[in-house]
Structure 1
Amino acid sequence: MMENLRTAANSVVLKIVLGLIIVSFVLTGVGNYLIGGNGNYAAKVNDQEISRGQFENAVMGERNKLQQQLGERYSELAGNEGYMKAMRHQVLQRMIDEALLDQYAKHLGLGISDDQVKQAIFNEQAFQSDGKFDNARYNALIANMGMSADQYANALRRQLTTQQLINAIIGSDFMLPGETDSLAALAAQQRVVREATIDTRALVAKQQATDAEISSYYEQHKNNFMLPEQFRVSYIKMDAAQMPSEVNDADIQSWYDQNRDQYTQPARYRYSIIQTKTEADAQAVLDELKKGADFATLAKEKSSDIISARKGGDMGWLEPATTPDELKNADLKEKGQLSGVIKSSVGFLVARLDDLQPAKVKPLAEVHDAIAQKLKQEKGLDAFYAQQQKVGDAAMNDTESLVGAEQAAGVKAVESGWFDRNNLPKELDFKPVADVIFGGSLLGENGTPGSNSDIITVDGDRAFVLRIAEHKPETVKPLDDVRDQVVAAVKQQKAEQQAKQQADKLLAALKKGEGDAALKEAGVSFGAAQTLSRSQDPLSMKAFDMPLPEKGKPSYGVSNDAKGNMVLLALDEVQAGKMPEEQKKVMVSRMTENNAELAFEALMSNLRKEAKIKLGDAAEQQQ
């Protein structure tokens, strides 16, 4: 049972299942998970007690993790009593499995030294800052869990011991290269077959369907003829893009004056620099420049800033927000002006102001249309939200109709035609709208129209308020409405039965050596030989399930093809296959991953069978 675990050593599946990863306690806050608790127990595993406190802390950790993963969806699940019970059950079963693994590791005499625990703590990324162990961070995190250093170390020791158990088991087995080659050859094997097809479609035309057969089939397959739940709704649509939003030149001018900074191009400066490592080197450069040396030439020769040096010291155009403080403080105001020696965080600089552009404001005429569009959108949104409030209040004040909401919106409600979940009208085809309509909250007793909806907002600054006008529950379509479908199904069923009987009869004849005459009488013949590889095609699957042919004598079988026809197969030859190395590696990898979970389940099943597991009051009261 345990031999297969070796191939699962690096399986993601197994690591997830067995990973009692301590850092997860940090992230989810399961502080007392491995600490004893008071009160009645949740379970006893071979006399080892899982206390109520341990169980409730683990449940709380699971809730926290789900809330982080699901966000707003979690509140919906948290209100589902059945879901929460199932979640609690899963948590307890996981704790039982962990206890069994811990006990099995102790039985084998596995243990982890203090040095190994210490090294694992140092290596844990959650406790590191800038790639190094941070003792303050470590203490803060375990304190946040409500654990002492000793308690955390004990929990980590359990996790490492469990991993040691897995390593001990998987280290006792290995796969020989010959085994891999044999599996690859088997997977790459090909089979040469001939096919003789019994055309089911041709038999359908010969079938008759009696009234009794039609009625019987209809009664047995009513679920295939369901008419889905249907609705007609009345709704009012609100759209921000259609709200009145006229603006005038005075509005535009006022907004432009108040937000002039948005259309201002700040002053721009262009500097060149020469960077040196020492103040003396910078002073020497400055002295040469004052004597008339070429700035660009000196920058290329002597600047330690490689990037600007390649450009002769040129820094490009800079705005105040992107200009280093050292250059700002140099107080360079005129083109060509040199700075003194400037001390910086990277050494010393000599700078020159090469050019400057004063601040520039875009004229109103240039931005007039953009401001007008912006103000129209803002006014439209203001009107949209105001209308939502009015319509929503009116719909809640008069829950028996949309008359009040129509008056508030200034439009008549639209009446939809009949629709179901699969063909929502295009105008209403939004998930939030569908959730409200099909959620049942708008239906009264016995499926009658109920109250108005709240305001339903959707993407694109649109909103709806609606009510159910009429409702039809899910029902079975009358036989008269689906008679043609039922007749076709009955004929198809009878044709398939006839084809199956004919195929079985021919197969028996072929196995007796009397196939030629039987095939001729049935008007069926084998086609040309073809070579099949393993696939999910029904005929390929059947061909690889058939017994090997004897020398000069094919083996026979029967199957359905993808079109529903019955097909007789003659297997003439089995050809050895050779799988490319890369494909072989992929196959072995997939087998390892698939076997990992099966191997672990086998181990846990064996441990559970031999264990005495008793649920306590804390668990049973949740069942």
Structure 2
Amino acid sequence: MMDNLRAASNHVVLKIILALIILSFVLTGVGNYLIGGNGDYAAKVNGQEISRAQLERAFANERSRQQQMLGDQFSQLASNDGYMRQIRQQALSQLIDEALLDQYAKTLKLGISDDQIKQAIFTQAAFQTNGKFDNAKYNGIINSMGFSADQYAEALRKQLTTQQLVNAVVGTDFMLNGETDALAALVSQQRLVREATINVDALAAKQSVSDDEIKNYYQQNKNSFMSPEQFRVSYIKLDAASMQEAVSDADIQSWYDQHKADYTQPQRTRYSIIQTKTEADAQAVLAELNKGTDFASLAKEKSIDPISARKGGDMGWLEPETTPDELKNAGLTHKGQLSGVVKSSVGFLVVRLDDIQAEQVQPLADVRNAIADKVKQEKALDTWYKLQQKVSDAASNDNESLVSAEQAAGVKAVETNWFSQDNVPEELNFKPVEQAIFNGGLLGENGTPGSNSDIITVDGDRAFVLRISEHKPEAVKPLNEVQAQIADTLKHTKATQQAKADADKILADLKAGKQDALKAAGLTFGAAQTLSRNGQDAITQAAFALPQPQQDKPSYGTSEDMQGNVILLALDEVKSGTMPDAQKKAMVQGVTQNNAQIAFEAMLSNLRKEAKIKYGAGAQLQ
């Protein structure tokens, strides 16, 4: 049982089980079970052919899934032929597994009744409207996939049969009550432990190291003392925000006149409707309204449009571009006016005009400040783009320095201090700028300053032109820079070795019953503390590895804390813990599910070993 518990942390839900979710299977290629290709096959599984068309569809589905999951990163991975071959192999492996499971289900004479097929179709959310099965929707979806109703039912039967096999395997594992209680007690066990700390830092302060030891360590570990590649960079920054200037009233008026539609709310109209299936029903509704029956009450009772009916027929405010033609053509001109019976694409309507709101235009005075800001920004961006081109031309024509670019920009270049990829100056801390500096394109031969960069735009309204002033390649730091660091490392190493040796000696004395050993070393055990098995620190792990104390005598051991100190442990007592029923139930569910997954993997592995699988030319096509 404990072996199963430890294994539980190393397994995930099998992909084959996840693949058996009916809807995703239907929408991503279940048709391939029925619609094979006529070209080269991809594989034969015990004589059952997996066509090239099936593989191409499965490959496309897996590629699409990976693209949705990885986003922009997928484009880079997709350029790798090896990665795409791996996706293709995964898709083919999945098809082979599905074929093996289908064949095994037939061997076991598993079957799905017609009633089960119907129930599966009726309960699929994709085929429902407002929580009820929609036959038109169902036919539309399966027809778009190239299925007839019989073909879809047969494909679904295959899938449900395979799922029945999976459920049979997954439901076989269980735990007895005695096993559950024993496992719960073990998992929730607690241990009372005292600690004594051998302080490594205090021991390190007493250590000494020779010059030869430092030199030898330096020679043997030079790669640990590398100074990263460093740069000094000169740059010119062009910031559109700094180029904003005051704008005139004429500029603001002109912009307002050109964009008046942005500040205009067109005429809006509000209608209420009652929708019926037949013209006769609409005529009956109209007659009721003409007798004075309340429109909202009648809409809630008679209208077949569920959305507007809940609101008493109210369609809300509609602008001209959102008003259906049937309402526009109803000929209604004043509030409260009723239409006649209006034929529409969804049946028949009776329409009432509830209200009209005239076109409204915000006056310039109300939006003047906002427009002024927009005009300033537009003019600044225009100046910025023109200056970019001017500076870019100057930087490329005089590629030996930034002098010409400075003259074109009207500002002096700024030069940074030395920096590496780990401490880029905040002013240059933009990914495109960093890429230009560190990709080597701006360096000349042997790391000398090379050419000016192109214009590099960042954040949409800032741009840089760069030039590397000086460059230092990656190099080993000289001994004098790291001598103190090495001495400290050697002292701590010696101190740790001494602490462990001292701990081993004290531990041996304690186990031999010499209780004064700890006092002789100037150490004392602290107060007892309770540790739980779920602790992940080294001390907890060491405490739970100790044997149980015997006859009121502690069990002793050693460990290390997070600071590297050596810890002596005294285990005084082991307590059986308790576990809430809900937590115990979750634990049992996790263990049994893991065991079932292991069993399923083993079954699938055996099916593969016993199967005759032959790969065809279609498996190799790219």
The TM tier, using the shorter chain, reads: 0.7 to 0.9
Q: Distance in 1 between matches of 2:418 and 2:197?
A: 46
Change (3 A) 1:571 1:127: closer
Q: Distance in 1 between matches of 2:315 and 2:150?
A: 57
Q: Which residue of 1 aligns with 2:333?
A: 331
528-537 vs 469-478, which deviates more?
A: 469-478
21-30 vs 529-538, which deviates more?
A: 21-30
2:289 aligned with 1:282: yes
Q: What are the within-5 Å matches in structure 2 for residues 595-606 of structure 1?
A: 601-603=601-603
Shift of 1:83: 3.9
Q: Which residue of 2 aligns with 1:132?
A: 134
Change (3 A) 1:400 1:617: farther
Shift of 1:426: 0.9
Q: What are the within-5 Å matches in structure 2 for residues 518-537 of structure 1?
A: 518-534=517-533, 535-537=535-537
Letter in 1 for 2:142: Y
Contiguous gaps of at least 5 residues in structure 1: 287-297
Residue 231 of structure 1: SS of its match in structure 2? Answer: strand
Q: Distance in 1 between matches of 2:226 and 2:425?
A: 21
Change (3 A) 1:225 1:527: same
Residue 552 of structure 2: SS of its match in structure 1? Answer: coil
The TM-score with structure 1 as length reference comes to 0.76
Percent of pairs with identical residues: 59
Change (3 A) 1:404 1:142: farther
Letter in 1 for 2:542: K
Q: Distance in 2 between matches of 1:596 and 1:456?
A: 57
Shift of 1:157: 6.0
Q: Distance in 1 between matches of 2:596 and 2:475?
A: 47
Shift of 1:574: 1.0
Shift of 1:368: 2.5
Q: Which residue of 1 aligns with 2:145?
A: 141
2:215 aligned with 1:204: no
Q: Which residue of 1 aligns with 2:432?
A: 432
Instruction: Tell me the alpha carbon deviations over residues 334-387 of structure 1, each in whole angstroms, 9 at most, x when there is no partner.
Output: xxx87568768998688887xx88655444333332222211112222223333
15-24 vs 68-77, which deviates more?
A: 15-24
Letter in 1 for 2:134: K
The TM-score with structure 2 as length reference comes to 0.76
Residue 208 of structure 1: SS of its match in structure 2? Answer: coil
Residue 247 of structure 2: SS of its match in structure 1? Answer: coil
Instruction: Tell me the alpha carbon deviations over residues 295-325 of structure 1, each in whole angstroms, 9 at most, x when there is no partner.
Output: xxx999x8877999xx999999998889995
Q: Distance in 2 between matches of 1:151 and 1:314?
A: 44
Residue 530 of structure 2: SS of its match in structure 1? Answer: strand
Shift of 1:191: 0.9
Q: What are the within-5 Å matches in structure 2 for residues 296-445 of structure 1?
A: 325=327, 329-332=331-334, 339=337, 361-392=361-392, 395=395, 401-402=401-402, 405-443=405-443
Residue 553 of structure 1: SS of its match in structure 2? Answer: coil
Q: Distance in 2 between matches of 1:475 and 1:468?
A: 19
Residue 236 of structure 2: SS of its match in structure 1? Answer: strand
Shift of 1:174: 1.6
The answer to whether the 8 A contact 2:556-2:569 is kept is yes
The answer to whether the 8 A contact 2:273-2:349 is kept is no
Residue 374 of structure 1: SS of its match in structure 2? Answer: helix
The answer to whether the 8 A contact 1:4-1:596 is kept is no
Shift of 1:329: 4.8
Q: Which residue of 2 aligns with 1:291?
A: none
2:242 aligned with 1:242: yes
Shift of 1:539: 1.5
Q: Which residue of 1 aligns with 2:278?
A: none
565-574 vs 159-168, which deviates more?
A: 159-168
Q: Distance in 2 between matches of 1:211 and 1:612?
A: 70
Q: Distance in 2 between matches of 1:166 and 1:271?
A: 55
Shift of 1:487: 1.0
Shift of 1:620: 8.9
Q: Which residue of 1 aligns with 2:548?
A: 548
The answer to whether the 8 A contact 1:28-1:64 is kept is no
Q: Which residue of 2 aligns with 1:294?
A: none
Change (3 A) 1:409 1:588: farther
Contiguous gaps of at least 5 residues in structure 2: 276-281, 302-306
127-136 vs 516-525, which deviates more?
A: 127-136
The answer to whether the 8 A contact 1:282-1:341 is kept is no
Q: Distance in 1 between matches of 2:274 and 2:141?
A: 43
Q: What are the within-5 Å matches in structure 2 for residues 100-249 of structure 1?
A: 101=101, 105=105, 108-113=107-112, 115=114, 119=118, 122=121, 128=127, 130=129, 131-132=133-134, 134-142=138-146, 159-249=159-249
579-588 vs 123-132, which deviates more?
A: 123-132
Change (3 A) 1:392 1:574: same
Residue 285 of structure 1: SS of its match in structure 2? Answer: coil
Instruction: Tell me the alpha carbon deviations over residues 459-504 of structure 1, each in whole angstroms, 9 at most, x when there is no partner.
Output: 2522333344433333332232111111111111111111111111
Q: What are the within-5 Å matches in structure 2 for residues 50-69 of structure 1?
A: 58-69=58-69
The answer to whether the 8 A contact 1:200-1:566 is kept is yes
The answer to whether the 8 A contact 2:139-2:149 is kept is no
245-254 vs 540-549, which deviates more?
A: 245-254
Q: Distance in 2 between matches of 1:606 and 1:471?
A: 61
Q: What are the within-5 Å matches in structure 2 for residues 408-557 of structure 1?
A: 408-443=408-443, 447-514=447-514, 516-534=515-533, 535-557=535-557
Residue 13 of structure 2: SS of its match in structure 1? Answer: helix
Shift of 1:518: 2.3
Change (3 A) 1:601 1:446: farther
Change (3 A) 1:29 1:601: closer
Shift of 1:247: 2.5
Letter in 1 for 2:527: A
Q: What root-mean-square deviation, in Å, do the aligned CA atoms of Structure 1 and Structure 2 show?
A: 5.1
Q: Distance in 2 between matches of 1:150 and 1:77?
A: 41
Change (3 A) 1:115 1:576: same
Q: Which residue of 2 aligns with 1:73?
A: 73
Letter in 2 for 1:138: I
Q: Distance in 1 between matches of 2:471 and 2:520?
A: 59
Shift of 1:328: 9.2
Change (3 A) 1:172 1:433: same
